[in-house]
Amino acid sequence: MKIGIIGAGNIGGNLTRRLTALGHDVSVANSRGPHTLTELAEETGATPVPVEEAARGAEVVVITIPVKAVPDLPSGLLDGAADGVAVIDTGNYYPRERDGRIAAIQDEGLTESRWTERHIGHPVIKAFNGTYAQDILDRHRPAGAPDRMALPVAGDDAAAKERVRALIDELGFDTVDAGGLDDSWRQQPGTPVYGLRGGVDEVTKALAEASPERPEDFRA
């Protein structure tokens, strides 16, 4: 499958490694340009591209950049993507450490993924946001393994969500349907499922136990 990855840091880099290892055709972009991605390209066989070209022909696009950088993404980011492209958002809002104050999230109560979705003008599927980057490389397991981890996946587009869940299964993880994007606060930072290394039952329970109140340190 043709996959575009926007962001080549901890998460984007490791998704590039695993998805190329599985035989996918991966294009990868960062903010500084393809000339800064030659090492990752040599290691993985992925194609480094400018961010404007990352989605070209892609059936899945992963946006994995700091939330504060989302408004810097070029307009028309998804022009040229395959019809029905599924867009994964891995983002977490860290107002104090990184992202600063975003009024729509803090005051209007938008989930960070809904906020990202509005910026890019395309539905997103929230996944991997509570997954340690290193676990993408180290903790994948075949289906049915007793210690296979499960990842929550939230989003409104049923077909896109199914494609993303199938890809995560291929990457070596179970998934739990975490509802629509307005439910995705259940997997944001500070919730029981965030960073949980559990299976389907534990993830399902943690999602149910989440409180919509964000901890005080998630306000800037």
Ligand X SMILES: NC(=O)c1ccc[n+]([C@@H]2O[C@H](COP(=O)([O-])OP(=O)(O)OC[C@H]3O[C@@H](n4cnc5c(N)ncnc54)[C@H](OP(=O)(O)O)[C@@H]3O)[C@@H](O)[C@H]2O)c1
CA 100 to chain centre: 20
Letters for 69-98 (x = contact with ligand X by CB under 6 A, - = none) are: x--xx----------------xxx------
Q: Is 184 in the site for ligand X (CB under 6 A)?
A: no
Rounded least distance, CB 205 to ligand X, Å: 21
| Residue from the set 1, 2, 10, 148 that interacts with ligand X by CB under 6 A | 10
Rounded least distance, CB 144 to ligand X, Å: 25
| Residue from the set 3, 26, 58, 65 that interacts with ligand X by CB under 6 A | 65
Q: How many CA atoms lie within 13 A of 54 on its CB side?
A: 28
184's CB contacts (< 8 A; 6+ apart) are 111, 113, 114, 126, 154, 155, 178
Q: Is 44 in the site for ligand X (CB under 6 A)?
A: no
* 92-98 contacts at long range (C-beta below 8 A, 24 or more positions apart): 92/67, 92/129, 92/130, 92/188, 92/189, 93/67, 93/188, 93/189, 93/218, 94/67, 94/189, 94/218, 95/218, 95/219, 95/220, 96/217, 96/218, 96/220, 98/66, 98/67, 98/68
Q: Both tokens of residue 172?
A: 């070596």
Per CB under 6 A, contacts with ligand X among 111-170 are: 128-129, 131-133
Rounded least distance, CB 19 to ligand X, Å: 14
| Residue from the set 26, 40, 46, 51 that interacts with ligand X by CB under 6 A | 51
Rounded least distance, CB 134 to ligand X, Å: 7
Name the site residues for ligand X (rule: CB under 6 A): 6-12, 29-32, 51, 64-67, 69, 72-73, 90-92, 128-129, 131-133
